[in-house]
Amino acid sequence: MMIDFNRPHLAIFASYYRPHLLLFAADMLCALLTAAVDLAFPMMTKYTIDRILPQGLYRFFLVMIGLMLLLYVLRTAFSYFVTYWGHTVGAYIEADMRQDLFNHLQKLSFSFYDNHRTGQIMSRVTNDLWEVTELAHHGPEDLFISVVILAGSFGLILFIRWEIALALLILVPLLLLHTLRSRSRMMQVSRQVKERTAEINASLESSISGARVTKAFTNESYEARKFQFGNRNFKAAKKTYYQSMANFHCRLEFIMHILTVVLIGLGGLLIMAHRMNLSELITCNLFVNAFLQPIRRLANFVEQYTTGMAGFSRFVELMRIQQDSTDKPGARDLTRVRGDIEYEDVSFSYNQGVRVLEHINLRIPSGTTLALVGPSGGGKTTICHLLPRFYEIREGRITIDGRDIRDIRLMSLRNHIGIVQQEVFLFAGSIKENIGYGRIGAAEEEIIRAAQQAEIHEDIMKMPQGYETVVGERGIKLSGGQKQRISIARVFLKNPPLLILDEATSALDSATELKIQRALETLSQGRTTLIIAHRLSTIRKADAIVVMDDDGIRQQGSHGELLAQEGLYAALYAAQYTSP
């Protein structure tokens, strides 16, 4: 279902009812029938007191009691449908919103995740949308029932005694005005509560993820103080919200009780003036009680609306964030890839700030390996991230086989690029699932073959459950070398023509590095490969080496040519391999 998120919030919210319209209509019909029973009971009571009992129609009296009992049995059935299926509609809508938000998050670029903490994003996907369920169900239902009962009660009271109806006409607008005035204040405070909750979730996620670092530095007390600070802000925001809620409900209850006092006082005066009888007063009192029920519903609706719409507004805010990388009109798939890559006068900066790359020109012929070396911060990783369009270039262009990558469909572009990163991420599943992530639906034989090519098969077979061994969160149960080789196996399974190796052998012991180096050499054969490396021993066999620093590209050539030039590369090599 396509939804235009540039429309007003209420229009967007209403759009989510469309797939569940039939069930929602049945829910509203049952709510209407429930309200009809509530309106019928006072009139049946009045008729019983005025006509049936004074005339001694006791058999008809029993029929009337039986009819009342039947109506309340039906009302219970209607109420069950509203409670069960109404909440289910709310859950369906919440699930639809959560799915849309998750799908949207999958499309957002690296820059979004650079600027947003994981815990805050999770809070929007879970906590914020939970309260939308209550609003989606109770909101329309409470509003609908309240309008029906208010209009019906007022009309019937007007039919019985216009003086009572006039008193209601004066007092009820005060109730509604109070409700509307309180809504904006409560929504503002509710949003603050959600923001504080998101901050707590972000702090919690960070502390749990970094628990090992915390223990290593014995900083448990510091983390506790940091969390306590966020928790204190949450308590203060929650306290302010409850204060607003208490003011709202207490004033509302006071006005409602005054309404009952006014009714009894005015009814008593009318009886003393012989303009009203006792049965009419009892009936009007029953109607006023019925009248107060929708007002309470409206009060609950205001509370639900403030919390639900505060969460929904944060949901819409996230959905309105535009993707940096999208398919331009007319973009086509990448087919029959040779693998010629060219960077033509490419410049780039993060968030329109200081430029990281200035007028970069590079050519990587098909099937060759280009290594990028140099001090940290020179833009090596940025160059690699621009190729799959994790970030969008500001100036210049990048081509594959002469085609601008912006003219290629994003999914097709990334399907043809394999990436092995320094920081390996493994999902908290089995080894088989993690390798199979390279190509969803791959046969077990293909997964085993990829593991063999990555030189990790023997290690896996020594594990208790083999390929079904669970790696733990982020692969915590595996060594660094095992995680790295599983990530390489994942790329073997993907089998892309273009390859990016981002410091894939750093921080490993020599024996493990040798295994990984052999696996990477096998992986690179016949593919156009970009390598980022700090250990210069790993890129000696590269077809070309580009040396970069903060000023851009300083040198280009083979290992032997660069050593002979006695420039930056020779200095870096000497620093690594010359004994002091």
153-192 per-position pLDDT tens digit:
777 777 777 777 777 777 777 666 766 666 566 666 766 7
Q: Is 532 strand, coil or helix?
A: strand
Task: Fill in the DSSP letter of residue 126.
Answer: T
Amino acid at 17: Y
407 vs 328 pLDDT, higher one = 407
Q: Residues 187, 244: contact at Cβ < 8 Å?
A: no
Other beta carbons within 10 angstroms of residue 8's beta carbon come to 9
Residue 354: exposure state from Cβ atoms within 10 A (0-12, 13-18, ≥19): exposed
Question: What residues form DSSP beta bridges with 364?
Answer: 341
Range scoring the smallest mean pLDDT among 136-150, 265-279, 314-328, 481-495: 265-279
Query: What count of other Cβ atoms lies within 10 Å of the Cβ of residue 55?
Result: 10
d(CA 232, CA 395): 47
Minimal CA–CA distance to 387: which of 312, 334, 442?
334
Q: What percent of the chain has pLDDT over 70?
A: 85
Any idea which of 6-20, 287-301, 352-366 has the lowest mean pLDDT?
Answer: 287-301
- 401 within 8 A of 569, measured Cβ to Cβ: no
Q: Is 367 left (phi over 0), alpha (psi -120 to 50) or beta?
A: left
* Residue 270 or residue 469, greater confidence: 469
> How does the average pLDDT of the chain come out, rounded?
79
**563 neighbors 569 (Cβ within 8 angstroms):** yes
pLDDT digits (tens, 9 = 90+) for 415-426: 898 888 877 778
Q: In a 3-state reduction of DSSP, which class is residue 81?
A: helix
The DSSP annotation for 463-501 comes to: STTGGG-B--GGGTTS-HHHHHHHHHHHHHHH--SEEEE
Tens digits of residue pLDDT in 53-112: 777 777 888 888 888 889 889 988 988 888 888 888 888 888 888 888 888 888 887 777
Domains of the chain with bracketed CATH? 9-319 (1.20.1560.10), 341-577 (3.40.50.300)
Q: What's the whole-number mean pLDDT along residues 388-395?
A: 86
Measured from the Cβ of residue 256, the count of other Cβ atoms closer than 10 Å reads 18
Counting runs of H as helices and runs of E as strands, what totals does the chain give? 19, 10
Q: Which two tokens stand for residue 276?
A: 């009203």
The burial class, CB within 10 Å (0-12 / 13-18 / 19+), for 444 is exposed
pLDDT at residue 580 in the model: 46
Q: Which of 530, 576, 528, 567 is nearest to 549 (CA)?
A: 567
- pLDDT for 579 equals 47
- Which residues contact residue 58 at a Cβ distance below 8 angstroms, ignoring those fewer than 6 apart? none
Check pLDDT > 70 for residue 441. yes
Could you count the other beta carbons within 10 Å of the beta carbon of residue 218?
A: 8
Amino acid at residue number 313:
S
Max Cα-Cα span within the chain: 121
Say how many CA atoms lie within 13 Å of 228 toward its Cβ: 6
CA–CA separation, 547 and 557 (whole Å): 9
User: Which of 137-146, 433-442, 496-505: highest mean pLDDT?
Assistant: 433-442
* Position 105, amino acid: L
**Confidence bin at 216 (pLDDT 50/70/90):** low
Instruction: Return the DSSP state at 48.
Output: I
Strand partners, 397: 344
DSSP state of 536: G
CB 12 within 8 A of CB 96: no
Evaluate if residue 342 carries a pLDDT over 90: yes
The band of 335, judged by pLDDT with boundaries at 50, 70 and 90, is confident
Is pLDDT above 80 for 457? Answer: yes
pLDDT of residue 180: 62
Order across the sheet with 552-557: list the strands: 417-420, 498-502, 528-532, 369-373, 544-549, 552-557
Task: Label residue 526 left, alpha or beta by phi (over 0 means left) and psi (-120 to 50 means alpha).
Answer: left
C-alpha distance from residue 439 to each of 1, 38, 171, 388, 425 (Å): 28, 60, 68, 17, 16
Given pLDDT bands bounded at 50, 70 and 90, which one contains residue 132? confident
Residues whose CB falls within 8 Å of the CB of residue 326, separated by 6 or more in sequence, listed in order = 410
